[in-house]
Chain A
């Protein structure tokens, strides 16, 4: 096991800077998930840790040892690829044993370790098969076994579940989490799937354009997003954003009937804020129509555009002028398409963001 330190890491492809500057400390034994949209630099970062991409500037330490210029084999790492990358001409046994054979370990030792890891991953009956005779889930386990068998200091995973079907992915997700809890190896996991990031990682690192937007625990990233990008990327459906004018202790849009009182904790955040407008962020679960038997008072009126019944709950797409929101309500909600309903904005879960930079002003 080892900690990983990325210090002022920069990555350039010719004149094109992909990662301008990256600082990240990954604690020993932690499960860190790098998440972000395509092209955000998460896989490049992983490849730099692996030694598959050269680091243009900065320093990479694994277990306190400077490995910046060392080849992959000298870094004490193992990696699971998105495509599994099994050797198609080798049996499952040979695939798992490949690294140990390269290191010229004793035959008996290889045999014992391969069988032990295969047993643990429930692929012991497949050792004589070629990869083409395996299902997607089995191939994924073989790739995992190949990485596990060498007992590396750091485990790197590049979207290892993205080729599995939805059901298998959920199974594999809990399997990997359980496995990490058992063996406790430092793991760096790359995904573009925010639900994978939220459910698996101790720490979620949200990236965009080669920069870390926020690195925190899953709940902190969800409840205290650092900016509108993080707030919009983490959570499904995404957070709702409403650009409103500041009028004393209220956020207003008179043309569309918005006059939302701010809770005390957010008023302070606006005292030093010089701009006239601010972005109000609300998760779908922080919005709901005012019950029909309750007096709506100043609640903004929104038109129901779409109803998405998910069985256990319903998503309401509603709008008023340029403002569009998605609200998560109970399945028993009786809203109808085309109807206008007053909506409650949960003051406890409001977020405020800078209208120009998107940075968080204060969070619930």
Chain B
């Protein structure tokens, strides 16, 4: 384009458009992606507050007479409070166990060079690659042998151990980024390895711990197969297994009930994310090293 053409108003508009085009495209793409994520969620919330008949008439239509009847029915009919309590218990304690088991190995793998470190690391990561189905039968046998089958503690231990390898991976990666000089400074100041771990590394690893804990919490909250296989008693079912009831003949045509159940079950995850985000983005190392 010649400089004279650029000087005209239409020329300037074209140039502006050329510079703005990538931004417009990126914004459009972001909105599209947001719609892909938010669309089903919005549909779920809408369905949960519509009477079932209204849903059958127009699944995508806005609710005409919104109400919370489905929530009440699900909460009372499925003893949803108990299911939520169980799920919370498994997720809170299972994640704590996974993170707790992973902390020391992650620290060791991030700082020391034990002989065969590569193999130890590879062995730990094997746990990540094993599909759940492959460990079902051995775990079933072990739980029966330990008299932990159909117990809350049994399922918590399974979740903790199964989540440990991924926690090691996350925490090791995080701990590797903690500047070595900080640790050396603590050493010079007279701290033992244990004191360095508890007073320096652990507080600095909090954002990593929160990230790992949150991811593990979500994984356990969504988990279905272990709970289905290792639990028999309805009173200790988590939400995922408890909601199976909604697939029975009695509720088969009621779309608003499972939607309401799903909405309720997402609330703890949302709360956890709001809490965790503050930590994840805290930038804890600022000011520790360099000017």
> Are A86 and B288 in contact, CB atoms less than 8 angstroms apart?
yes
CB closest residue in chain A, given B191: A102
CB closest residue in chain B, given A90: B203
* Interface: B187 (CB within 8 A): yes
Which among A30-38, A131-139, A260-268 touches the partner chain?
A131-139
B291 to chain A: which residues have CB within 8 Å? Answer: 84, 135-137, 139-140, 163-164
A88's contact among B188, B199, B287, by CB below 8 Å, is which? B287
> Are A131 and B191 in contact, CB atoms less than 8 angstroms apart?
no
CB closest residue in chain B, given A74: B190
A232 to chain B: which residues have CB within 8 Å? Answer: none
Q: Give the CA-CA distance A103 to B195 in the complex, in Å.
A: 11
A164 to chain B: which residues have CB within 8 Å? Answer: 291
* Number of residues of chain B lying within 8 A (CB) of chain A: 24
> Are B188 and A79 in contact, CB atoms less than 8 angstroms apart?
yes
* Number of residues of chain A lying within 8 A (CB) of chain B: 36
A117 to chain B: which residues have CB within 8 Å? Answer: none
B184, B186, B189: most-surrounded residue (chain A CB, <10 A) = B189
* Interface: B277 (CB within 8 A): no
* Interface: A122 (CB within 8 A): no
CB closest residue in chain A, given B285: A88
* Interface: B5 (CB within 8 A): no
* Interface: A78 (CB within 8 A): yes
> Are A87 and B200 in contact, CB atoms less than 8 angstroms apart?
yes
Given the known interface contacts A86-B287, A86-B288, A139-B291, the answer about A52 and B187 at a Cβ–Cβ threshold of 8 Å is yes
Would you give the shortest CB distance from B136 to chain A, in whole angstroms? Answer: 42
Hey, what's the 0/1 contact readout for A57-92 against B, CB within 8 Å counting as 1?
000000000000001110001110111111111000
A85's contact among B191, B284, B288, by CB below 8 Å, is which? B288
> Are A102 and B188 in contact, CB atoms less than 8 angstroms apart?
no
> Are A102 and B195 in contact, CB atoms less than 8 angstroms apart?
yes
CB closest residue in chain A, given B180: A85
> Are B190 and A102 in contact, CB atoms less than 8 angstroms apart?
yes
B188, B195, B200, B287: most-surrounded residue (chain A CB, <10 A) = B188
* Interface: B81 (CB within 8 A): no
A87 to chain B: which residues have CB within 8 Å? Answer: 182, 185-186, 200, 288
Q: Give the CA-CA distance A89 to B286 in the complex, in Å.
A: 9
B287 to chain A: which residues have CB within 8 Å? Answer: 86, 88, 130-134, 139
A–B complex contacts, Cβ < 8 Å, 17 sampled? A51-B187, A79-B185, A81-B184, A81-B185, A83-B289, A84-B290, A85-B182, A87-B186, A88-B288, A98-B191, A98-B199, A130-B287, A131-B287, A137-B291, A139-B291, A150-B189, A163-B290
A binding-site residues for B, Cβ under 8 Å: 50-52, 71-73, 77-79, 81-89, 98-99, 102-103, 130-137, 139-140, 146, 150, 163-164
What 6 A-B pairs come out closest when comparing CB atoms?
A: A136-B291, A132-B287, A131-B287, A99-B189, A73-B190, A83-B289
Q: 19 new A-B pairs (CB below 8 Å) besides A86-B289, A88-B284?
A: A50-B188, A52-B188, A73-B189, A79-B188, A81-B184, A83-B290, A85-B179, A85-B185, A86-B182, A88-B182, A88-B285, A88-B286, A88-B288, A99-B190, A102-B189, A102-B191, A136-B291, A137-B291, A150-B189
